[in-house]
Each structure stands twice: as C-alpha cells, then as structure tokens.
C-alpha cells in the first residue's frame, strides 16, 4: 500500500497565498527620476549658462540670407533671416552686418561664420533672440538719452540715413551761401555792438 504524505509535507508544499505577482514587481521596481527629464533639464541649464547660439549653416533664399543656429547643447534649430544686398551696397543689409558684428566675423570672411558663437538670450514666449553689439553696449553702462538714441538708430536704419542726409544738405547750403552768411554775421555783430553802446551810455 502506497505511503500517504504527512501533514508536515503538505504544509511545506502549499504556496503562501499572501505573496502575489504584484508584490514581486513592487519589490523589483526602484524609485528614480526619469532620465529624459534629467537630460532636458541639463541641456536647458547649460544653454542658459552659455547664453549663446552656434551657427550651423548660412544660405540664400530669394533675396534673403537665412542663418541656421542651434544652442550649444541640444538639437533645437533657431533660424534668423536678413535682407541681402540687391544693388551692390551694404546699406541694404544693415541688420545682417549687425549680426556679423555680434559673431565677430568680417563680411569678407563668411566661411568663418559657420561654427561661430553668437550671443543670445531666451524668452519663454518668443524663443531665442540674438543679442546685437549695441544691446551689449547699452547693458555695459550706456544710460538715459544715449541708450534710447542708440536703440532707436539700431531699430530704424532709415533714421540714421535721414540724419546723415540732413547734415549733408546743411553743409552744402552753407558752402553755397557762405558769403551771405558772413555778411549777415558782420552786420548783426555791428548792430549788436551799437545797441550795447547805446544801452551803456544812454
């Protein structure tokens, strides 16, 4: 007759119903921070610390110069567009010249622009913005009316041209009517002298 298992054996062979698959998963899962989140925060921190954009490509698109840039850390692309010279004058591309000045590159050495670092700031609403050399001058100590005049001139290149044209026209007018101006000054000076004598000795 076959030997029956004892009560002790049956107790050992019976699995504990309190231990389930969920408990095993909970024990194996260790607490931690999402690696993608850590990577993104690290990139953002380093980008803000360096405060710059790296030029990756420069190309023409119609009558525009398209400059592609990216932060030093990460693959986000930022594009700047500028007017290109169309009639052989640098006056037609003052904004692009200001960008080259910020990058420290001569208009005759455009090959050096690729790979150059351009000072920039980040705005949560508008994104990256290249800082012009004039912006850094204002931050470095230019205040009051000088700063406002510089900002206005940089924002509107036609204003500078208008002032220059006015000065040129004034100089030409003075050269043309120089004799009349001298005569008026002499007569005015004599009249002023006579009036002064009358006031003193009357």
Q: Give the Å distances, CA to CA, from 17 to 12, 20, 23, 30.
A: 13, 7, 12, 24
Name the nearest CA neighbour of 98 among 148, 145, 142, 160. Answer: 160
Residue 143 pLDDT grade (very low, low, confident, very high; cuts 50, 70, 90):
very low
Average pLDDT over residues 23-27: 53
Please give the pLDDT value at position 171. Answer: 82
Name the nearest CA neighbour of 120 among 106, 110, 133, 107. Answer: 133
Q: What is the DSSP string of the chain?
A: -PPPPPHHHHHHHS--TT--HHHHHHHHPPP---HHHHHHHHHHHHHHHHTEEEEEEEEEETTEEEEEEE-SSS---EEEEEEPPSSS-GGGGHHHHHHHHHHT--TT-GGGGTT-EEEEEEETTTEEEEPPHHHHHHHTT--HHHHHHHHHHHH-HHHHHHHHHHHHHHHHHHHHTHHHHHHHHHHHHHHHHHHHHHHHH-
Q: Cβ–Cβ contacts within 10 Å for residue 98, how many? A: 18
Mean pLDDT, rounded, of the chain = 77
147-202 pLDDT tens trace? 555 555 555 555 666 777 788 888 888 888 888 888 888 999 989 989 988 888 87
Q: Residue length, the chain?
A: 202
Average pLDDT over residues 126-153: 60
Are 127 and 76 a contacting pair, CB within 8 Å? Answer: no
Bridge partners (DSSP) of residue 61 are 64
Please give the pLDDT value at position 30. Answer: 58
Percent of the chain scored above 90 by pLDDT? 22
pTM value is: 0.49
């Amino acid at each position: 007759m076959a030997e029956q298992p004892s009560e002790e054996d049956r107790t050992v062979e019976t699995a504990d119903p309190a231990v389930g698959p969920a408990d095993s998963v909970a024990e194996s899962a260790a607490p931690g921070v999402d690696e993608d989140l850590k990577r993104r925060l690290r990139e953002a921190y380093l980008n803000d610390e360096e405060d710059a954009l790296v030029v990756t490509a420069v190309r023409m698109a119609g009558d525009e110069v398209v400059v592609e840039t990216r932060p030093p850390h990460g693959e986000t692309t930022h594009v700047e567009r500028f007017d290109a010279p169309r009639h052989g004058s640098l006056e037609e591309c003052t904004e692009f010249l200001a960008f080259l000045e910020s990058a420290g590159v001569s208009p005759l050495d455009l090959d050096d622009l690729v790979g150059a670092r351009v000072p920039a700031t980040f705005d949560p609403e508008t994104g990256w913005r290249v800082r012009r050399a004039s912006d850094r001058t204002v931050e470095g100590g230019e205040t009051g009316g000088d700063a406002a005049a510089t900002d206005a001139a940089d924002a509107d290149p036609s204003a500078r041209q208008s002032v220059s044209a006015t000065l040129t026209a004034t100089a030409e007018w003075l050269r043309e009517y120089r004799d009349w101006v001298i005569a008026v000054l002499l007569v005015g000076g004599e009249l002023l002298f006579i009036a002064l004598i009358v006031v003193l000795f009357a």
